[in-house]
Structure 1
Amino acid sequence: MTRSRPASGPAGLALRPAAAGCWSVTSSEQLCLACGLCCDGTLFDGVQLEPGDDVRRLKSLGLPVTLSRGRNPVGRFPQPCKALCADRTCRLYADRPRQCRIFECGVFKEMQAGRTDPAAALRQVKKARRLADRVRKLLLQLGDTDEQRALGERFFRMQCRMEEQPADPAALATFADLSLAVHRLKLLAHDKFYTRPPQPSAK
């Protein structure tokens, strides 16, 4: 799904030196550095730019931004994000789009509000990452090696392939496992990670 809601707030961090030879990392930053799900194609399939985002600048920094056709073109780039590093920091942190600046997932919000402790929040992140890794492993077993696409797109493409082409019993069994893994990941994402915009109060 496209990230119509904002992308990541403190995720993809640029760490701050606290003193010579060491780094200061808050519990919030530790959570995001352990996660990266809002950037790696697990939760979203892309990021939509907003007015004020410098499309030319983002392109020059290596993001594959495309513009929609129409009177008011809208910029977008796909996930997994090209700026996400192997250690889950962001190489474009200072120049990241607005959505990436203001999004905070549900797990992060719950921890910030004190409704869950950092250890419990980290367990939720690790659970989600295990499920996402399970999905990737099953996709690979079925022949999908395109790790440059978001998980949702890869699953949809595999689903179409399985419907259009006859498959042997082993492949069908693997696809059944994949469908279950995707379902479990979606349930967890909607329960713990996706957030809803605040609703206006009734008058």
Structure 2
Amino acid sequence: MTEADTSANREDDLRDAASRLCTACGMCCNGVLFEIVRLQPQDDMRGLERLGMEIYRKKKEPYFKQPCRFLEGCTCTIYAQRPTRCRHFECRQLKLLAAEEITESDAMAKITEVQTLVAKVHANLMELGDEAEQDSLDERTRRVLEHHPDAALEEDLRVLKLLLNREFRV
């Protein structure tokens, strides 16, 4: 086997592992990591709108809100037409995996750890009366905490943000 073959096999293995991790996670699309995604000049905004994407503008800069309406489970339903930022985003776990600093199972363990905490925060939000799952996690927690200060929710959110910043955001 040549060095080129070995490199190609490694790239295939990495792509397969990344695909498994992404479809188990979805936090870059479900409103946990981000509240909005800014669209780029090369994005087909009319095409995205025809698909049903609601595009907003802030200082003339187009964006869409998270969670993405095209996310089903942890799978993008417009994968081939997804915006540029979606195409190019790699979370820290994927970057560490590509650099061979962690294994796929290490990354999956981090995903599971964060998903467990996210589920706890979601349950807390529901108990406090917020069922607006169409809004990002940050938006929901800000709204709830404004009206119902809750030390447990604030602590869970603090720990979650630390984990997201340390393990997923680039």
| TM-score exceeds 0.5 | yes
Identity %: 37
Alpha-carbon separation, structure 2, partners of 1:76 and 1:38: 15
Gaps of 5+ in 1: 1-24, 164-174, 196-203
1:51 to partner: Cα distance: 1.0
Q: CA deviation at 1:158?
A: 1.0
1:108 aligns with 2:108: no
1:63 maps onto 2:50 in alignment: no
Is 1:76 the equivalent of 2:66?
no
Which of 146, 153, 158 aligns to 2:139? It is 153
Q: Report the Cα distance in structure 2 between the residues aligned to 1:191 and 1:89, rounded to whole angstroms.
A: 24
Alignment-mate amino acid for residue 136 of structure 2? A
Deviations 1:116-135 (A, max 9, x none): 01111100011111111111
Q: What residue number does 1:121 align with?
A: 107
Aligned residues: CA RMSD: 1.2
Report runs of 4+ in structure 1 exceeding 2 Å deviation.
none
**Please, what TM-score do these two structures have when normalized by structure 2?**
0.88
- Amino acid across the alignment from 2:48: L
Measure the CA separation in 2 of the matches of 1:67 and 1:57: 17
Deviation at 1:178, TM superposition (A): 0.8
TM-score by length of 1: 0.74
Residue of structure 2 in register with 1:37 after alignment: 27
Cα offsets for 1:136-179 (capped at 9, x unmatched): 0000000001000000011111111126xxxxxxxxxxx21111
Separation of aligned partners in 2, 1:154 and 1:190? 19
1:190 to 151, 165, 170: 165
Structure 2: give runs of 5+ residues left out of the alignment: 1-14
Q: Aligned partners of 2:57 and 2:46: how far apart in 1? A: 11
1:62-116 Cα deviation digits (max 9, x unpaired)? 11112335xxx21111011001012x11111111111001110001110111100
- Length, aligned pairs only: 156
